[in-house]
Amino acid sequence: MAQVHRQPEPDLEPLERVRDDALPENLLYRDDGCEVHPHCLSCPLPRCRYEEPGGLRALLNHERDLQIRRLHAHGLRADALARRFAISRRTVFRALAKQAPAALNPNADRRTNRNGDKHPTKP
């Protein structure tokens, strides 16, 4: 039988003990939710309202603005959209202005200067 030669193990210092309350399995997590949904872990929002800059209002406005742009693309006018969402016409125009320029104008990447010369497009 062949002999196995073991290298002497370096002196290892014992690890510091971790606080018991620092481990996630030892924490009591209360899933209280918020006014949007009674439980955080099953909330339908794509991102927690407390983590979103602007909070719940920003999340709701974002969804509303997407709907406004979609309906406008199908031919609804600003007056009709303002009435439908109970907002001002100016708010409708702000929502439409958030749309990507390329989506508004398919030739947006073909920029020209005052002389009609084309600017090089950025990659």
Q: What is the pLDDT of residues 91-106, one digit of tens each?
A: 999 999 987 554 444 4
Is residue 109 pLDDT above 70, yes or no? no
Q: Is residue 122 part of a domain?
A: no
Q: Is residue 20 part of a domain?
A: no
Q: Is residue 48 part of a domain?
A: yes
Q: Is residue 79 part of a domain?
A: yes
Q: Tell which wins on pLDDT, 104 or 4.
A: 4
Give pLDDT, residue 119: 52
pTM for the whole thing?
A: 0.50
Give pLDDT, residue 104: 46
Burial class (CB in 10 A: 0-12, 13-18, 19+), 72: middle
Q: Is residue 112 part of a domain?
A: no
Give pLDDT, residue 100: 55
Q: Is residue 113 part of a domain?
A: no
Q: Is residue 116 part of a domain?
A: no
Q: Is residue 64 part of a domain?
A: yes
CB atoms within 10 A of CB 92: 25
Query: Residue 12 — pLDDT band, cuts 50, 70, 90?
Result: confident
Give pLDDT, residue 117: 57
Domain hosting residue 84, numbered range: 30-104
Count up the domains in the chain and report the number.
1
Query: Residue 80 — pLDDT band, cuts 50, 70, 90?
Result: very high
Alpha carbon of 40 to those of 24, 32, 35, 57, 61: distances in Å? 17, 7, 11, 18, 21
